[in-house]
Each structure stands twice: as structure tokens, then as C-alpha cells.
Structure 1
């Protein structure tokens, strides 16, 4: 089968991200990407210059996808505590099983090492926290910053789930976040 002469960057970057998910960032090489896409290694180097640029562009594309998914879920959920839980449960569904979650943690290392990608993460945190603040505003014990606290609880619940993944991740997250909301649904003592 002849090599394709061209492939859109989006498809190449999707293949690069898939390689990182299955083999870790260290497993993403121009040779591995050439084998996965059918493009020549030289053509890939010409497009992306070096591995650092390739990883960054693949992860920026992944952040773009997460931003779109977050915006779609935000548009679909009511601005209620139940909507906040639904939003975070919806974002949890893409983690899949324990192996894919663990593989994604290897990729997070790359996000944390790159200042451009850290900015993307901080921007996503701010957008997510703001909509969670809106959803939780009606709770009796609501306070500014509760959205970020809930997002932190969500991330913690993902980590705790990973140590004992017998329950589906979305069920574990939903139960954890329901307890979180319940804690803030009680009227504070006078």
C-alpha cells in the first residue's frame, strides 16, 4: 500500500495523541507516528520540527477538544447543584477504565512541564469553576470559590477511584459529588 502524500494536521495530531495514550509521551516518536499515519518521518519532522513541538501541538488539540466538550456540557446542564454534578460526571465519562486513566496521568506530566499548556489548564479551571459557582450559588452554605472546591473534590474523587476501580468511574464520581453537595446544602449553624 503506497504512503499517503498528505494528511490534515488534525488527523496526524490525533494519531500522535493516541500514541501518547497507549505508549506514554516517551513512546511518541517520529518513527512511531510515521508507522501509525503512513506519512514519512521526514515529512513529519518538516511539519512539526521536533518532538517537543509535536507533543505540544497534540496536547493543544486535546485541550481544544476538552474545551468544546466542557462548553457543550455547560450549555446542557441547569444552573443547579444537580447540574454541577451532571457536568462533572459528564466530563468523567471519557476517562474510561483504570488503564486509560493511568495512561492519561502520564500525559498530564507533559501539560505540567509546558508553560503554554499550563496556561490552557488554568484557563479551563477558571471556566469550569465559574460555571460550578453559578450552579452552587443557591446552596445555603455557598460561598465564593465553592466551584473550585467542587472541582478539586471531583479531581480527588477520580484519584481515589483509581485505587479501587471496581465501581464504574461515573458512579463513583456521582456518589462523591452528591455527598459534597449535601454537605453544603445544610444551613450553616447560627
Structure 2
């Protein structure tokens, strides 16, 4: 009879991702994953076959987690400009206020960019995220078409600018940066129809 699994595939893949975050795929070995998850290296080889398969499944699992988090946040935030900011800050909570954690996330992105199927996951996530952000402006008068993509792109850049300094919390930095961008993109109601003309 086969031995029962004492760890689910998801638990093993979580352990594998932790190793990738620590030092890239070079740190990802069956022995290292076995030490983290409590299964033997031989059991992991039987389950996943090769390191390449384990690596790909771990990175695919990371996209599954991000997709789920994005969908959950998109369903929970209000469909307002503030909701759009809340969504992006929520997606950033994985980094806390730790630049090292953000930097380790770039190690995963480095691997994604080398695999066509993982790049496709990135494109699909972009579409889902930008659609969710667009939905937050559906009732906002004067919001330009494509604001979701602009916000998502700005958010990605803002994460990098914050990491260079990190003198404030990431949440505070993003709130200010995204809020300033929205103020530039969406006209203030006071300025509609020339109501706020200069005197």
C-alpha cells in the first residue's frame, strides 16, 4: 500500500517558495525542501520527479495564490477610487515594511520571466487586476479610460521607489503616491463646467 501523504502538495510548494524567496532557485533542492516540510527527499522525488518540475509547480503555485488574493480583495473593497487604493495596498501587505522581503519577491519574478507559461500567468493577472481597478472607477465622473492600467503600472513603480528609501511605511507611501496620481487623473468636482475658474 502507498504511504499516506503527511503534507499536501500545496504545503510542499509553500515550503519550496520560501526557499526561492531566500536565495532563488539555487536554494531549491529536494533535500532543502524536505528539511522545511518534514517529508523525506526520496518522497519528494517520487511526488515531483525532477527539480525542474518542482520549481515550475512552486512558481505556478505562487501565481495561484496571487490570483486568489487579488480576487478576494477585489470582491471586498468598495467600488470607489479609495477602494482601488485599498486593493493595491492589500496586495502589497505581503511585503510588510521590509525591503528585504520585497527584494526576495523579485527573485521569484526573475524566474517567472524566463518561462513562457509563467509570463502568460502574469499577463492574465494584469488583465484581472486592471479590470478590478477599472471597476472601482465605474461610477466616478471624469475617470479616464484605462485608469486601471495606469494605476497598476504606477503601483509597481511606486514599490521600487519606496524600496530605495523606505523611510515611511509602505502603506503610507502608497496611499500618498496613488492618491496624488488619482487626483491628477480624475478632475475634481469643483472644477467641472468651469465652476472653479480662477479669479
2:84 equivalent in structure 1:
84
1:13 equivalent in structure 2:
13
How far apart are 1:37 and its partner, in Å?
2.2
| Higher alpha-carbon deviation: 42-51 or 137-146 | 137-146
| Higher alpha-carbon deviation: 146-155 or 36-45 | 36-45
- Taking structure 1 as the reference length, the TM-score comes to 0.90
Q: How many residues were matched structurally?
A: 187
Is 1:129–1:147's contact at 8 Å kept on the other side of the alignment? yes
Is 1:131–1:147's contact at 8 Å kept on the other side of the alignment? yes
Structure 1 residues 108, 189: CA separation in 2 closer, same or farther (over 3 Å shift)?
farther
**Whole-Å Cα distance in 1 between the matches of residues 132 and 46 of structure 2?**
41
| Higher alpha-carbon deviation: 38-47 or 51-60 | 38-47
How far apart are 1:144 and its partner, in Å?
2.2
**Whole-Å Cα distance in 1 between the matches of residues 89 and 193 of structure 2?**
30
How far apart are 1:25 and its partner, in Å?
1.9
**Whole-Å Cα distance in 2 between the matches of residues 136 and 5 of structure 1?**
47
Is 1:140–1:188's contact at 8 Å kept on the other side of the alignment? no
Report the RMSD for the aligned CA atoms in angstroms: 2.0
**Whole-Å Cα distance in 2 between the matches of residues 25 and 189 of structure 1?**
57
User: 1:136 is paired with a residue of what secondary structure?
Assistant: coil
Deviation string, structure 1 residues 122-147 (Cα, Å, up to 9, x no partner): 11110110111121244454332221
**Whole-Å Cα distance in 2 between the matches of residues 143 and 177 of structure 1?**
15
User: 1:34 is paired with a residue of what secondary structure?
Assistant: helix
Is 1:63–1:120's contact at 8 Å kept on the other side of the alignment? yes
Larger Cα-atom Rg:
2
- Taking structure 2 as the reference length, the TM-score comes to 0.86
Segments of 5+ residues of structure 1 without an aligned counterpart are none
Is 2:89–2:174's contact at 8 Å kept on the other side of the alignment? yes
Segments of 5+ residues of structure 2 without an aligned counterpart are 195-199
